[in-house]
Amino acid sequence: MNYIFLNLINERWYEVPIKLQTRNYPLEYLFTFLSDKEFRWIEKEEDKKNTQKIFIWSEWDLKKQRSFRDFETTKEFMDYCNKYTDYSSKRWEELPKIHIFKDNLEFLEQQWDSIYTRKPKYLIFRQHNNRYIDILEKDELSTEDIAIMEREHKIYLNYIKRWEAYLQAHPNRRTTWYSSEDDEYESDFPHYDPSDEQGVD
């Protein structure tokens, strides 16, 4: 089961406490989508293979495509687009994203307004093994809640350590895709953490 734990910080906003952040970015994307659908960097689209499912993901996790204006001819641009499509298709396979059933999303959307009105101190998003997601409202965290958060936060710290090592190994990393030199995948990051198996103290 995957979790994110959110803390009410003012009348309008919840956040993931810094000391309790986890690697479950897709659940955070879902929270952002529910709380403010105007976020331009959150994408939602239907799963073409299963019309009962929806993907929610962040466009920040996919390197941007260059503009048509960057090229002298249409052919150069089309050649670039074909190569970019190869990159983005492969990247999509392991892109951090939430897979959510349509009826589940509709239920959460209906539930969200009433949750927001009640403003419990903590919200816990849980994704079960069958992919269904629910939201728990709590005014106090249990010992078990805290233990789960601490365990997942340790995994998160390992991920951040890998990511920082990856950035050090790629000082010229670009957020726009120019060529195959800019290929980047989720599976690339673990290679840059020599202490991953020992964990983070």
What confidence category does residue 193 fall into, taking pLDDT thresholds of 50, 70 and 90?
low
Cα 180 to Cα 105: distance, rounded to the nearest angstrom: 36
In this structure, are residues 96 and 58 in contact, taking their beta carbons and an 8 Å threshold? yes
pLDDT at 194 over 80: no
DSSP secondary structure string for all residues of 35-62: H-TT-TTEEEEE-SS-TTEEEEEEGGGS
The string of pLDDT tens digits covering residues 6-54 is: 999 877 788 888 877 888 888 989 998 898 766 678 888 888 888 899 9
| Residue 61 C-alpha from the chain's centroid | 8
pLDDT for 114 equals 86
| Strand residues in the chain grouped as ranges (E) | 2-8, 14-15, 42-46, 53-58, 97-101, 122-127, 133-138
The residues with which 135 forms a beta bridge, in sequence order, are: 125
pTM: 0.81
In this structure, are residues 83 and 179 in contact, taking their beta carbons and an 8 Å threshold? yes
167: helix, strand or coil: helix
pLDDT for 90 equals 94
- Kindly list the domain boundaries of the chain, sorted by start residue: 2-191
Cα 144 to Cα 40: distance, rounded to the nearest angstrom: 36
Q: Which two tokens stand for residue 175?
A: 């957020």
The string of pLDDT tens digits covering residues 159-187 is: 889 999 999 999 999 999 999 999 999 88
Cα 148 to Cα 157: distance, rounded to the nearest angstrom: 14
What confidence category does residue 103 fall into, taking pLDDT thresholds of 50, 70 and 90?
very high
